[in-house]
Structure 1
């Protein structure tokens, strides 16, 4: 759990949020906020705020426990669902505003006060972001097993691209 928290911190996620997520992920039963605070030695307010964030990311949710009126929490345990939810959340918070800003800038790209070099860079950014956004949308429809196969292929994919392009990968493949 400490390492998960450290990793979360490296990725821009609050350490407490990541540690609570790890605890819920590894727990074989739903936990209350009090359970979490006790097990991790955290302040109850910190746990509450962190749980709110995990709920917002849809990485954890409340579950009823018969005979107990307190809120209990459990985490998403499907690793692909976790990765998809994190990617979606990051896209919404980081990529989408960038795409909107670039599109807004492109509306003024023909302004004669903008130098040709800056105009070209705006067009390049626009094309890049549209390509990344399109790729992301395509990846949502690829079954996890196929993505794992692609990941396991690793550098073999690069070799295949070089072979297909016939120029050591320098020609753009469509």
Structure 2
């Protein structure tokens, strides 16, 4: 590993890293974890915990906790250099792979448990009219979440190139659906 720690971040990188820290709380992670990940994503070389701590002016223990959390999300990999006992960390090169991993991990942590609760509620016998109405709404939520889960699974099967082309369609996708509706008589 070469390079002075003070050279790890340019002013542009510092601005993005700071923003990821601020946005972290909105994304359900703490500021430090957001900053660590932004630094790893933007760095052109793997970094060790000491370099991360120095670049972000955070304690070694905060770096270790942040790296552990990022590891539990499957968002980083560890690199070893011959003759160096330190662990170095980096983020996947493919931004789409990061997005795929985040979707899969969020599903596992948030969507799957919610679907389980909704399924349990649908298995219960309604006790009164309020339960009948509630179950109807629960059924709608369940169906929507299942459909979104299926779509996300299909997206995860697409290559990065396919996903890029799909997103470039943008509003054109709505036009295709409208055209199909006209052809089938389901507008």
- Give the shorter-chain TM-score range: 0.7 to 0.9
User: What is the TM-score when the length of structure 1 is the normalising length?
Assistant: 0.87
Distance 1:121 1:26 in 2: 43
Distance 2:45 2:166 in 1: 34
Q: Is 2:108 aligned against 1:92?
A: yes
Listed one character per residue, the Cα deviations across residues 123-169 of structure 1 (whole Å, up to 9, x for unaligned) are: 212211221122122222122212211211111111221222239xx
| Matched residue SS, 2:178 | helix
Distance 1:26 1:119 in 2: 47
Distance 2:141 2:42 in 1: 41
For 1:133, the equivalent position in structure 2 comes to: 149
Per-residue deviation at 1:56?
Answer: 1.0
Distance 1:15 1:112 in 2: 45
RMSD, aligned CA: 1.9
Choose the corresponding residue for 2:82, options 66, 82, 87: 66
Greater share of residues in strand:
1
Q: Is 2:132 aligned against 1:119?
A: no
User: What is the TM-score when the length of structure 2 is the normalising length?
Assistant: 0.82
Q: Is 2:64 aligned against 1:36?
A: no
Give the alignment of 1:93-108 within 5 angstroms.
Answer: 93-108=109-124
| Matched residue SS, 2:126 | coil
| Matched residue SS, 1:66 | coil
Q: Is 2:177 aligned against 1:149?
A: no
| Matched residue SS, 1:36 | helix
For 1:48, the equivalent position in structure 2 comes to: 64
Instruction: Tell me if the contact between 2:126 and 2:135 (Cα under 8 Å) persists in the aligned partners.
Output: no
Greater share of residues in helix:
2
* Unpaired runs of at least 5, structure 1: none
* Unpaired runs of at least 5, structure 2: 1-16
| Matched residue SS, 2:115 | helix
| Matched residue SS, 1:28 | coil
Q: Is 2:94 aligned against 1:78?
A: yes
Instruction: Tell me if the contact between 2:70 and 2:76 (Cα under 8 Å) persists in the aligned partners.
Output: yes
Per-residue deviation at 1:112?
Answer: 4.3
